[in-house]
């Protein structure tokens, strides 16, 4: 993954794929060479796609190892980043 400035911020380790309905991966913070940043927690992400009213519903679940990990990651701005990224999906898929 790259940030708006083009710098590498993280990486995904895909753990399961069932096209076209699901994707599971571990989301990690990484340095510019893609190496995990040791003191940053990972997030397990599950994405499910289902048909709904002539379109597609996407459900994302983020799972953290602990409440402390979640709090640490929330302080990095990932909520705002996720809202921005997901907010662009309709336009990209149209």
Query: What's the pLDDT at 35?
Result: 85
Q: What domains appear along the chain, each with residue ranges and CATH number? A: 1-66 (3.30.530.20)
Query: What's the pLDDT at 2?
Result: 61
Which one is predicted more confidently, 91 or 64? 64
Average pLDDT estimate for 78-87: 86
Query: Residue 86 pLDDT > 90, yes or no?
Result: no
Q: Per-residue pLDDT tens for 20-69?
A: 999 999 999 888 787 889 999 999 999 999 999 988 899 999 999 999 99
* Distances 24 to 5, 6, 28, 33, 59 between C-alpha atoms, Å: 27, 25, 13, 23, 12
φ, ψ at 33 (rounded to 5°): -95, 5
Query: What's the pLDDT at 4?
Result: 65
**3-state SS assignment for residue 56:** strand
Query: What's the pLDDT at 85?
Result: 85
């Amino acid at each position: 993954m790259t940030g708006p400035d083009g710098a590498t911020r993280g990486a995904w380790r895909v753990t399961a794929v069932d096209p076209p309905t699901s994707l599971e991966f571990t989301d990690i913070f990484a340095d510019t060479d893609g190496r995990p940043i040791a003191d940053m927690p990972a997030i397990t992400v599950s994405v499910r796609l289902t048909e709904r009213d002539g379109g597609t519903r996407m459900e994302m679940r983020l799972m953290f190892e602990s409440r402390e990990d979640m709090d640490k990651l929330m302080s990095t701005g990932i909520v705002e980043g996720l809202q921005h990224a997901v907010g662009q999906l309709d336009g990209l898929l149209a």
